A and B are shown apart, each in its own frame.
Chain A
């Protein structure tokens, strides 16, 4: 019933200078997986990117603990002057941001491409 796989499927750097990192999240991010989710999100920050994009296209469900994990990440990247973007939220996941009134706190992009381009 609860997934046990890593909520972060893939981490790739868009350029050789390692300034932009794309983190691909997937599956259900709930109370059981948020701790692993957080840990995996903080990992790429050690290499001091300028921008971090979390691709959420594959996230089918996220609860408020997942949102809280992203808030924690946001406070970290703001301190380190890293730009954080969330891309490809499904309507269901977007609703979680809306109901917690955090849709304006994060930079949300409809798709990964738009998050990379703009």
Chain B
């Protein structure tokens, strides 16, 4: 069954309107372009993993897709709506249709785990308390935290916070889920559990998933397609199998491909490190010696 799902999403017909579209997006922070002409389309039900080293702009890209940052140029379309053109009420209506798992879980510290999950339901639906309680129990069971409902966020571990954050993100049964570094800082077992949940949500419920990560094990487990960001530019978007081929193949001599290969393999030598080495270390240190 998983097989057919995967096939469905990777070979999604071009004519189907993408759920998320990023078009020629440019973002500058104090004049410097952190995102430089990004294009990306995500189709219904697929899981796309956006990778890249620290500071490559992947978190910034995610923040544009959820409408907490807005681009200088270009646009983001979510479920057919251009985020640039939405006013606050429309943006809020759209926000109810997607969920976000923040890096730290971002639980509200003044509420219990259960209240955190209940909050979107209490604020945005008119369901009665009993139904909300049942839903909270269901969501917490899904992430394996049912017994933690009455604990405060300060009383639980980082991994549990993340899972609780996921339970809150899925409280309103969103159509799209964004994950910001879902497995960063987690032990391998918890990380694998979260990966499984990501796969279940997309496989069984057809949720579209956008995952930003630099954890390669997790990326290769969950991705239908992968996208590689480097210094604000999208250097490759392709099905997982292509990235697997690059990872397992030989160095090609093509800089872009070798850069991806080094990143996927976590090698200490390659274009990424070569770039760092060629930044004038020799000149700098000799200049420093002349200063006297």
Contacts and interface: CB of A to CB of B under 8 A. Distances in A.
| A–B contact via C-beta, under 8 angstroms | yes
Interface of A: 30-31, 34-35, 38, 63-65, 67-69, 71-72, 92, 95-96, 98-102
B138 A102 contact: yes
A101 B141 contact: yes
B43 to A, nearest CB: 18
Contacts of A69: 131
Contacts, number: 53
Contacts of B134: 68, 71-72
14 contacts: A35-B127, A65-B125, A65-B127, A68-B127, A68-B131, A68-B138, A72-B130, A72-B131, A95-B205, A96-B205, A99-B200, A100-B141, A100-B142, A102-B138
A68 B135 contact: yes
B127 to A, nearest CB: 6
Nearest to A97: B204
A95 B131 CA distance: 20
Contact of A101 (B132, B142, B201): B142
Contacts of A34: 127, 131
B173 interface: yes
B35 to A, nearest CB: 32
A25 B132 CA distance: 21
Contacts of B135: 64-65, 68
Given A38-B131, A71-B134, A64 B139 contact: yes
Contact of A99 (B124, B127, B130, B142): B142
A72 B135 CA distance: 10
B56 to A, nearest CB: 33
Given A31-B127, A34-B131, A35-B127, 4 more contacts: A35-B128, A65-B125, A68-B127, A100-B138
Contacts of A98: 204
B61 interface: no
Contacts of B141: 100-101
B126 interface: yes
A1 B135 CA distance: 23
A100 B128 CA distance: 20
A77 B205 CA distance: 28
A1 B242 CA distance: 38
A91 to B, nearest CB: 9
B173 A63 contact: yes
B78 interface: no
A43 to B, nearest CB: 16
Contacts of B128: 35
Contacts of A30: 173
Contacts of A99: 142, 200-201, 204-205
A31 B131 contact: no
Nearest to B139: A64
